Amino acid sequence: MSENERIEWNRGLCLNGGYAPDSDMGWEQFGGEDREMTMWDVVLDMLLAARGKVGALASGDARACQITWLTNHLLLEQTWKEMSQTLTEANFSSIQEILEAVPPKWLADSAASACMLCNVRFHPIMCSRHHCRFCGGLYCNECSKGRSLLPPKFRKENPERVCDVCCVRLESVQSHLMDQVSRAAQSPTNDLTDLSTLRSWLNFPWGQSMEYEIYKAANTIRGYDKVGSLTPEKSIPDAILKQAKGLAILSIAKVGMMVTYNVGTGIVVARREDGSWSPPSAISSFGIGWGAQVGGEVTDFIIVLRTNEAVRMFGGNVHFSIGAGLSAAVGIVGRAAGADLRAGDGGCAACYTYSCSKGAFVGCSLEGNMVATRMQENRRFYGKPSINTSEILLGSLPRPPAAAVLYRALSELFKKAGI
């Protein structure tokens, strides 16, 4: 690395959250030996690590090893807490300076053979190298576990990998960035659910993003509402809607003969005491059915959560449902209503299910499904790695602007029901 490049890197670290002391850092300390690591070095490191553990077990010193590991872990945790407190008190730069930071120039992989925080040598299997997205330095996995939203000039909407030092510095601006750069804070671009856009003709069962799940849910509600206006006997009864504490809206593909398999995704929203709606939480469904049935169909489901227990059930990590149903879908017409029993780590409750099917399928069956929360998608959408479903559905999290099309559809549905 030339002298000019070193000066530029030091300047980038100071601006973008890295640690750059006044004295010469001496990049040679990160470079280690000049020779290239060979495959024999990789295997040898793994054998030495395994031999140490096997030797400790053979000598009956497992308890001592456990105590040593626990002691080292506690010391590392205490050191981390002290470092966090020190960095917070030092206040290296103002919040405004962090928010105005620009993307750094990443350090080349060849510039460091060891982690720039713990100085552990990089290894392709046991200790891989990672770039901090905020300061551009090279760190091991243990020193770069944090995920944080980055300032606006980075143009990143999802939480990105950062080193421990930058994670502490960025913590003070995360709430601000959630309101500014997260995906939940953006206005929706796909907000048309009429026949003028091809997207509204069919809901694909598996949505890759929360934005598409929100669009699917709004499209399902408006489609069901239109048919209910033409044929009131097929609409959701007003009495059921008035009792609703929440709604789960999914699109599921089902195919098979005698034994059927189904998969799909959707969202769940809770109705608050003041009549407003909570932010959406992403869910997925996998299931199997058995009975006198044949064909394939794509079905849009609206599950009415009648009680707070049902909402808490969907607020868990996973739950199961079982129920019997009769299905008949020919072309794009096919509607059904049913009830099922659901139970999971969030509790158990009975729910009403309304569906609209598209395809060619006929039969009756006993269905079993597993519904799981898509925690990773929730974290990416809201920009908060520690967020959970209860915080979304039952907490005070504000309604995201990205779900505006969904709230309009819900408002129209309940307004027609006189609610």
- Which residue would you say has higher pLDDT here, 245 or 53? 245
> Based on the structure, what is the number of domains in the chain?
2
- Residue 189 in any domain: the answer is no
- Checking if the pLDDT of 14 tops 50, the result is no
Residue pair 403/410 in contact (Cβ under 8 Å)? The answer is no
- Residue 188 in any domain: the answer is no
Lowest mean pLDDT, pick from 3-12, 18-27, 225-234, 394-403? 18-27
- Residue 292 in any domain: the answer is yes
Out of 30-34, 81-85, 303-307, the most confident range is: 303-307
**Burial zone of 340 (CB within 10 Å; 0-12 exposed, 13-18 middle, 19+ buried):** middle
Banded pLDDT at 335 (limits 50, 70, 90): very low
Out of 200-204, 207-211, 323-327, the most confident range is: 207-211
Domain that holds residue 46: 3-181
**290 and 143 fall within a common domain:** no
pLDDT at 326: 45
Cα–Cα distance for residue pair 378/314, rounded to 1 Å: 14
**230 and 88 fall within a common domain:** no
Q: How far apart, in Å, do the first and last CA atoms of the chain sit?
A: 68
The CATH number covering residue 67 comes to 3.30.40.10
pTM of structure: 0.72
Lowest mean pLDDT, pick from 210-219, 224-233, 333-342, 410-419? 333-342
**177 and 205 fall within a common domain:** no
Q: What percent of the chain has pLDDT over 70?
A: 65
**Domain boundary residue, one of 147, 181, 215:** 181
**104 and 209 fall within a common domain:** no
**292 and 233 fall within a common domain:** yes
Please list the helix, strand and coil fractions of the chain in percent, rounded to the nearest 5, in that order. Answer: 40, 30, 30
pLDDT at 202: 84
Helix axes 210-230, 375-382, angle to 10 degrees: 100
pLDDT at 225: 78
pLDDT at 33: 47
pLDDT at 87: 52
Residue pair 285/265 in contact (Cβ under 8 Å)? The answer is yes
Q: What percent of the chain has pLDDT over 90?
A: 38
Lowest mean pLDDT, pick from 170-179, 192-201, 320-329? 320-329
**141 and 249 fall within a common domain:** no
Residue pair 225/412 in contact (Cβ under 8 Å)? The answer is yes
- Residue 24 in any domain: the answer is yes
| pLDDT tens by residue, 120-163 | 999 988 899 999 999 999 999 999 999 999 999 999 999 999 99
**Domain boundary residue, one of 138, 153, 181:** 181
- Residue 9 in any domain: the answer is yes
Lowest mean pLDDT, pick from 75-84, 122-131, 298-307? 75-84
**148 and 247 fall within a common domain:** no
Cα–Cα distance for residue pair 278/101, rounded to 1 Å: 33
- Alpha-carbon distances of 207 from 199, 211, 401, rounded to whole Å: 13, 9, 19
**168 and 202 fall within a common domain:** no
- Residue 373 in any domain: the answer is yes
- Residue 407 in any domain: the answer is yes
Mean pLDDT, residues 87-93 taken together: 51
**132 and 256 fall within a common domain:** no
**131 and 246 fall within a common domain:** no
**124 and 204 fall within a common domain:** no
pLDDT at 297: 82
**Domain boundary residue, one of 151, 181, 211:** 181
Out of 31-35, 51-55, 201-205, 232-236, the most confident range is: 201-205
Q: Look over the chain and give the mean of its residue pLDDT values, rounded to a whole number.
A: 77
∠ Cα 348 351 357 (to 5°): 135
Q: Cα dihedral sign for 331, 303, 379, 125?
A: negative
**335 and 390 fall within a common domain:** yes
